[in-house]
Amino acid sequence: MITLFEHIDNSYRSYHGVSVSRDQCRNHLQGAVKDKLLDREEREIQLEQLKTLLHETGFNNPSDQLLIDIQAIGSETIDVQNFRIGEAYAEVILEEYFACRFHWNELRDARNPKGNKTGADLVGFIEVDNQVLFLFGEVKTSSEVKKRPPQVMTYKEGIEMQLKDLYANSVKRQVLISYLQNKVRHFSKKHPFKADFNASIKTYYTSNLYQLIGVLVRDVDPNVKDIEDNYHRLSKSILEPNGIKLLALYLPIRKEEWLTIINNRIGS
């Protein structure tokens, strides 16, 4: 990862403009990003269950639906909108470079695979100064160049307003915490999800400390104006000790090519 620009007030409050090389971008799209979009871990569990059922029921006269589902779940082809790819890419970068952890793939909650997420795009944990905090955040993908910042940062449902709402709306944060608490029950006591949750909820209620993050995914030339003014306005609205970070992620491959590359077809 290459840092293009940044401003750091402290460990909890900063903005960063970063990019990756073309090769790294391709590797992410075909690797970690694709794994998230497939929810590969859960998919492999489902596939193994269906293959076991096929073996138990016999290969001579298998159910048509069973064979159809095995083929569908085993398929590596992805069909999603670019903003979903941007969200997955944001998680990958946050995990690899910003000490963030997302233990639960939200695809497992989707009744409609093309439906919108509710509450927040990013719900997880971040480690800052040896403390684990709740992470709540939003992701937008934009190719707009006429305006800096792009409209996805400033309009009514843009990152700036969404982060302000997460800060002002304690009920919404509580719903997100309850969401994580429900998911942690799916894991053993030794799983790091449980340790992260217990540490975060303690800090949240004893120190009123959590981290808000906004990620802008771009496939255009970098410009500090994409997030600079938004950060300074947010810093005045979201008061310490709470954290606020903005990240502008510049990808060297145009978004129209992302899906082609993910599906391993001839592309850039």
Q: What is the pLDDT of residues 121-180, one digit of tens each?
A: 999 999 999 999 999 999 999 999 999 999 999 998 999 999 999 999 999 999 999 999
Summarised one tens digit per residue, pLDDT across range 52-91 is 776 777 656 667 776 667 766 666 788 899 999 999 999 9
- CA separation (Å) from 158 to 155, 225, 227, 265? 5, 16, 12, 33
133: left (phi over 0), alpha (psi -120 to 50) or beta: beta
Residue type, 171: V
Query: What is the value of pTM for the model shown?
Result: 0.89
Average confidence (pLDDT) over 112-125? 75
The mean pLDDT of 4-16, rounded to a whole number, is: 98
How much is the pLDDT for 39? Answer: 83
Tokens of 242: 């709470």
- Quick one: average pLDDT of 99-114? 76
268 band by pLDDT with thresholds 50, 70 and 90: very low
Q: For residue 266, what pLDDT is reported?
A: 47
**pLDDT value, residue 115:** 54
